[in-house]
Amino acid sequence: MQHSMQRPVNEGILILDYGSQYTLLITRRLRELGVYAEVIDGTRSAPLEDFHYHGIILSGGPDTVTEEGARTMPAWVKSSNKPVLGICYGMQLMAGVSGGKLRSGTQREYGRAQLKLELDHVPSYATSLKKLPAVQTVWMSHGDDVEGSSGIFEVLGRTEDGVVAVMAHKERPWIGLQFHPEVQHSEHGAELLKIFISDICKAPLNWDAGCMMESSLAKIRENVGNGKVLMAVSGGVDSTVAAVLLTRALGFEQVHAIFVDHGLLRKDEAKWVQNEFARLGVHLTALDRSQEFYAALKGVSDPEQKRKIIGRKFIEVFESFAKSQTGFTHLGQGTLYPDVIESAGHGSGAKVIKSHHNVGGLPEKLHLELCEPFRYLFKDEVRAIGRQLGIPEQLVDRHPFPGPGLAVRILGEIEPESVRILQEADAIFINRLREENLYHAVWQAFAVLLPVKSVGVMGDNRTYQKTCALRAVTASDGMTAGVGDLPISFLVRVSDEIVRKVNGINRVVYDVTTKPPATIEWE
């Protein structure tokens, strides 16, 4: 199925990807600085059509420039005469095409390094680099480097080991960095990127929340016209903002949001979502199908089976609803830019560990065109649009919640009573996190119900009940995760409240496993 959503604006910076794990991070940083940036394949034979680029960034990557099969810089980069910033592999590519000398693996540097700038002979186009402190910490990750000055490049900085860390072409506005300015550990990395985009590329800094919203509204109107959009919503950030944005662009009559309650949601979630959507003026139909889902899951304890059943059932419910209505032309989806880039083969590309449930395959079945208003946006940008649209903070800033919901947090077979118990425990944990200002100290937090019973004592009575595990993780995208460093006194208070108030749980444990080796969800 083709998507027909156009990019939100048609000017900015092009980022050529050579396979670095940081390519998307560079893109995000530039957009945070106020310039729209887009990733394309580093070997692409032509720039993007209908896109005015003010400058080019060449990403890092795992190849070695001098080896056979290494990705090369396309000829149009040089002939465009646009400013270029080469990062790591990108810097080596620049040196390679200009006759600079490269060394392979002689000076491996990973992690923090001290950069000392030497700006006495800085080319005139790069004099703004003088705004930066002469000595600063930078983040290195490379095995190859450029050997000294070649006569074509001016060396503008070295690390304490003498590695050329900053260089500038003497004639072209080309700057090479051996370190990663996009990584937070590079102390003045953001300032450096800003100097490149503003002072060297002269790109206007006009990418802000207002622009994101206005351009998205315009593109939706262009894309859908007089059509009608069907949109599945989950109560999560992306689908909520998408439904509100679509409604703002097209009007109440042209957008219909569907919320399937599979009975595995957080406590009072279905009611809450309905109230919020009503307040936000979105046409929403909530379908309570919990009994159907419970029946389909009865007796099933294998995690993958549970996921597959829920995914299948969800599509069934959604499809039958869609077919009961007429007039839909589009299916709305909250797909984000990183998903698009990953599936195009750029970025790191992750192996499927668990089957994720979504509405894949539905547009074809329903003969609907896809409408993906966030195809070019990052999650933070979606949040910014959400705030701009007046969506309450509690909805915009929520932790992620998995499609199969509590099914992957109740280990083993699912019974309605276990769902109730877990909902209660989870609500206590989350409310406490919010009350004690710890909700945003972690990236995601939730309770898990284990089928493990243990002995306890309450008053004068012996208890023999289930165990609740609390999980709180730090992360930036969920691909890896650290353990949330919640105060033990806080955890004890939460545990105390859960055991006192939730009949069915008499023991609480805290999960201290990182990802990898564990996943965030338990199933």
Task: Candidates 267, 346, 357, 379: give the one binding ligand XMP (CB under 6 A).
Answer: 357
Q: Does 333 bind ligand XMP (CB under 6 A)?
A: no
> Nearest approach, Cβ of 353 to ligand XMP (angstroms)?
6
**Piece of the chain touching ligand XMP by CB under 6 A; list 21-29, 155-163, 177-185, 354-362:** 354-362
Structure tokens at 305: 């089976």
What letter represents residue 518's amino acid? A
Task: Candidates 228, 354, 365, 420: give the one binding ligand XMP (CB under 6 A).
Answer: 354
**Whether the Cβ atoms of residue 195 and residue 128 lie closer than 8 Å to each other:** yes
Q: Of 350 and 488, which has the nearer Cβ to ligand XMP?
A: 350
> Nearest approach, Cβ of 523 to ligand XMP (angstroms)?
8
> Nearest approach, Cβ of 519 to ligand XMP (angstroms)?
3
Strands annotated E in 274-396: 284-288, 330-332, 369-371
Q: Report the C-alpha gap between 430 and 23 in whole angstroms.
A: 34
Helix and strand numbers (H, E) in the chain are 15, 18
Helix pair 23-32, 379-388: axis angle to 10 deg: 30
Q: Of 60 and 404, which has the nearer Cβ to ligand XMP?
A: 404
Residue 407 per-residue DSSP state: G
Q: Report the C-alpha gap between 186 and 111 in whole angstroms.
A: 10
**Piece of the chain touching ligand XMP by CB under 6 A; list 203-211, 284-292, 293-301, 349-357:** 349-357
What letter represents residue 341's amino acid? I
Site for ligand XMP in 112-141 (CB under 6 A): none
CA angle 193, 377, 80 (to 5 degrees): 50
> Nearest approach, Cβ of 137 to ligand XMP (angstroms)?
31
What is the bridge-based pairing of β-strands 461-474 and 444-458?
antiparallel
> Nearest approach, Cβ of 17 to ligand XMP (angstroms)?
24
Task: Candidates 335, 423, 444, 495: give the one binding ligand XMP (CB under 6 A).
Answer: 444
Largest CA distance in the chain: 86
> Nearest approach, Cβ of 521 to ligand XMP (angstroms)?
3
Size of the site for ligand XMP (CB under 6 A): 14
Closest C-alpha to 173, from 145, 194, 149, 154:
154
Q: Of 214 and 397, which has the nearer Cβ to ligand XMP?
A: 397
Phi and psi at residue 463, in whole multiples of 5°?
Answer: -115, 155
Q: Of 100 and 404, which has the nearer Cβ to ligand XMP?
A: 404
Q: Please state, in angstroms and as integers, the Cα–Cα distance from residue 274 to each residue in 322, 387, 406, following that order.
A: 19, 19, 19
Q: Report the C-alpha gap between 230 and 325 in whole angstroms.
A: 10
Closest C-alpha to 310, from 271, 353, 362, 261:
261
Task: Candidates 356, 434, 453, 501: give the one binding ligand XMP (CB under 6 A).
Answer: 356
Q: Of 219 and 409, which has the nearer Cβ to ligand XMP?
A: 409
Matching residue, tokens 């940036």 = 37
> Nearest approach, Cβ of 501 to ligand XMP (angstroms)?
25
- Give the residue numbers annotated as catalytic, written as ranges: 88, 180, 182
**Piece of the chain touching ligand XMP by CB under 6 A; list 63-71, 225-233, 327-335, 348-356:** 348-356
Q: Of 182 and 426, which has the nearer Cβ to ligand XMP?
A: 426
Q: Report the C-alpha gap between 245 and 213 in whole angstroms.
A: 8
Site for ligand XMP in 275-314 (CB under 6 A): none
Closest C-alpha to 423, from 518, 513, 290, 243:
290
Q: Of 109 and 521, which has the nearer Cβ to ligand XMP?
A: 521
Distance of CA 372 to the CA centre of its chain: 16
> Nearest approach, Cβ of 280 to ligand XMP (angstroms)?
22
The site map against ligand XMP for 387-426 (x = CB under 6 A) is -------------x-xxx----------------------
Site for ligand XMP in 461-520 (CB under 6 A): 478, 515, 519-520
Distance of CA 241 to the CA centre of its chain: 15
Q: Of 148 and 400, which has the nearer Cβ to ligand XMP?
A: 400
Q: Of 106 and 343, which has the nearer Cβ to ligand XMP?
A: 343
Q: Which residues of 347-370 are buried (b: 16+ CB within 10 A; e: fewer)?
A: beeeeeeeeebbbeebbeebebbb
> Nearest approach, Cβ of 229 to ligand XMP (angstroms)?
21
Closest C-alpha to 242, from 335, 171, 172:
335
What is the bridge-based pairing of β-strands 330-332 and 229-233?
parallel
Q: Report the C-alpha gap between 362 and 360 in whole angstroms.
A: 6
Q: Report the C-alpha gap between 270 and 293 in whole angstroms.
A: 15
Kindly list the residues in this chain that would bind ligand XMP in the complex (CB under 6 A): 353-354, 356-357, 400, 402-404, 444, 478, 515, 519-521
